[in-house]
């Protein structure tokens, strides 16, 4: 598990509008990489190109290459459905399936992948909920609806659902922005644990969060409204927050704009 991501010359479009332009970067396995930058700079768009979720929006398309250990996710004959099984995703707002129980939510991806045996499912569900630090809170109500949990628990349920299919990479799109500080802390602790098993990429608006959870940080920016977003720099988190090499990064993290 956990693979390296190598992006080169990637641009993404919504219809005729270019949202991000010519992004190249390498994301190390078994580490947390944070994407920061002002709203509209394309960091979420870029994240969604990493598991081919960008193209589910009508009219959206991608140019460039994303290598997952040498395999191009945008190569001919690559099935986006298979890509998404390998690269899991957690969204900004907790989105457990409202019509399913806690158990069924975690098992949903496995059932899609064709796992039918109850004993296997039971094992992975328990393991995934434990992996998401949720088992203790829900183990005696697995058959209750997932939507009945608190926001923070729902988000951990979504993480459990994502890791249940054993992806190589876990993408997180502002996973804590709808949560209170205590739930946020729980998720951040969890990210720290999960990075030993997955390659984690997290988009965040919260710079303290980026500084707390990530090993590497990428700063995105856009030249102006309507301009495509670009990668400004990617470096060790410590360096980005203490001594970035680009002035724009320094301005952003010190709160001078954005």
Minimal distance in Å, beta carbon 64 to other proteins?
21
As a whole number of angstroms, the distance between CA 258 and CA 256 comes to 7
Residue among 91 and 135 whose Cβ is closer to other proteins: 91
User: At which residue do the structure tokens 């969204």 appear?
Assistant: 91
Cβ at position 130, least distance to other proteins in Å: 19
Name which position in 12, 27, 53, 102 contacts other proteins (CB under 8 A): 53
Minimum CB distance to other proteins smaller for 160 or for 253: 160
- Considering only residues 110 to 129 of the shown chain, the ones binding other proteins according to CB under 8 A are 112-113
Examine residue 199 and tell whether it contacts other proteins (CB under 8 A). Answer: no
H helix or E strand, kind and range, residue 253: helix 247-253
Residue 27's SS3 state is strand
What the block records as the tokens of 92 is 């900004």
CA distance 216 to 200: 10
> What residues between 141 and 160 interact with other proteins by CB under 8 A?
144-145, 147-148, 150-151, 158
Neighbours of 53 (CB within 10 A): 21
Site string for other proteins, 66-105 (x = CB under 8 A): ---------------xx-xx--xx-x-x-xxxxxxx----
55's tokens = 């193209």
Tell me: does residue 43 bind other proteins (CB under 8 A).
Answer: no
CB 153 within 8 A of CB 102: no
For other proteins, the closer CB: 58 or 76: 58
Q: In what order do the strands lie in the sheet with 60-68?
A: 71-72, 60-68, 5-14, 17-27, 229-236, 216-222, 32-36, 199-203, 169-173, 87-90
Residues near 139 by Cβ (< 8 Å), separated by ≥ 6?
Answer: 126, 129
**Residue 1 interacting with other proteins (CB under 8 A):** no
Is 54 a residue that touches other proteins (CB under 8 A)? Answer: no
Contacts with other proteins by CB under 8 A lie at: 51, 53, 56, 58, 81-82, 84-85, 88-89, 91, 93, 95-101, 108-109, 112-113, 144-145, 147-148, 150-151, 158, 161-162, 165, 180
């Amino acid at each position: 598990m956990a693979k390296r991501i190598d992006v080169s010359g990637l641009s993404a479009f919504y219809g005729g509008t270019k949202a991000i332009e010519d992004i190249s970067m390498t994301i190390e396995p078994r580490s947390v990489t944070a994407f920061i930058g002002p709203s509209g700079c394309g960091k979420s768009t870029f994240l969604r190109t990493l598991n081919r979720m960008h193209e589910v929006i009508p009219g959206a398309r991608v140019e460039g290459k994303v290598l997952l250990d040498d395999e191009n996710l945008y190569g001919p004959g690559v099935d986006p459905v298979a890509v998404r099984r390998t690269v899991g995703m957690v969204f900004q707002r907790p989105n457990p399936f409202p019509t399913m129980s806690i158990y069924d939510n975690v098992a949903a991806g496995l059932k899609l992948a064709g796992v039918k045996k109850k004993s296997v499912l039971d094992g992975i569900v328990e393991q995934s909920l434990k992996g998401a630090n949720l088992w203790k809170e829900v183990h005696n109500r697995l058959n209750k609806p997932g939507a009945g949990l608190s926001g923070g628990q729902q988000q951990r349920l979504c993480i459990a659902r994502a890791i249940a299919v054993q992806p190589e990479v876990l993408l997180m799109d502002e996973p804590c922005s709808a949560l209170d500080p205590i739930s946020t802390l729980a998720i951040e602790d969890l990210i720290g644990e999960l990075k030993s098993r997955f390659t984690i990429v997290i988009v965040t608006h919260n710079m303290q969060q980026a500084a707390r959870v990530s090993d590497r940080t990428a700063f995105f920016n856009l030249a102006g409204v309507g301009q495509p977003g670009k990668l400004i720099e990617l470096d060790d988190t410590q360096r980005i927050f203490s001594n970035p090499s680009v002035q724009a990064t320094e301005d952003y993290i010190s709160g001078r704009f954005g």
